[in-house]
Amino acid sequence: MNDRILIACIGNIFLGDDGFGFEVAKALSGVDLGRAVYVVDYGIRSFDLAYALLEPWHAVILVDVVARGGVAGTQYLLQPAETALLGVGKSIDPHSMDPVRVLEMARSLGKVTAEVFIVGCEPSDFGDDLEGRMGLSEPVAAAIPGTIHLLRDLVAQLQESDVPTSVAV
């Protein structure tokens, strides 16, 4: 059985809360998740991530901000629906790091065999349209310890079985 797990942190550090993935990757640098777990900060490199998704992983966990209309700092554990990945009538932007669009791009390049999860955080502020903003907003920064806990639980479940039954968010 392939036991390799990729935690792919994505986002733009120059756009406020979009730097959430980078900050999670930094926080994970001191966490022992096991020998077969790889944490990579992809930043805004969508092609690199798309090609990485084609590798034979047991699971891939994408970490990013996810705007779903909730309270800033709310954490989400999502599994993209297969139908959301069909990309019918959508163009693929190699500079976009929207997790579903990157999955669409990867699937247009080959077969993604891994179980894919998205661990997201509701953003609050991306900064000024012209200048952006460095650093996370307070509610998003406060969500990082809970995100680390969520990732540890998810990884542990993935290492024990094929599909996690539930993970508290």
Q: What is the pTM of this model?
A: 0.83
The pLDDT of residue 64 is above 80: yes
Out of 8-12, 51-55, 112-116, 164-168, which region has the weakest mean confidence (pLDDT)?
A: 164-168
Residue 123 CB-density burial (10 A; 0-12 exposed, 13-18 middle, 19+ buried): buried
Total residues found in the chain within this entry: 169
Is 72 within 8 Å of 122 (Cβ atoms)? yes
Q: What whole-number distance in Å separates Cα of residue 35 and Cα of residue 155?
A: 12
What pLDDT sits at residue 92?
42
What is the residue extent of each domain of the chain? 5-160
Is 116 within 8 Å of 59 (Cβ atoms)? yes
pLDDT tens track for 80-136: 764 354 344 444 434 346 777 777 887 788 888 788 899 999 999 888 877 778 999
| Residue 138 CB neighbours (<10 A) | 12
Q: What whole-number distance in Å separates Cα of residue 15 and Cα of residue 11?
A: 8
Average pLDDT in the chain: 83
Q: What whole-number distance in Å separates Cα of residue 29 and Cα of residue 81?
A: 30
- Pick the residue with more confidence: 142 or 100? 142
Q: What whole-number distance in Å separates Cα of residue 36 and Cα of residue 27?
A: 18
Q: What whole-number distance in Å separates Cα of residue 6 and Cα of residue 88?
A: 27
Residues 6+ apart with CB under 8 A from 95: 44, 46
What pLDDT sits at residue 169?
47
Question: Class assignment of domain 5-160?
Answer: alpha beta
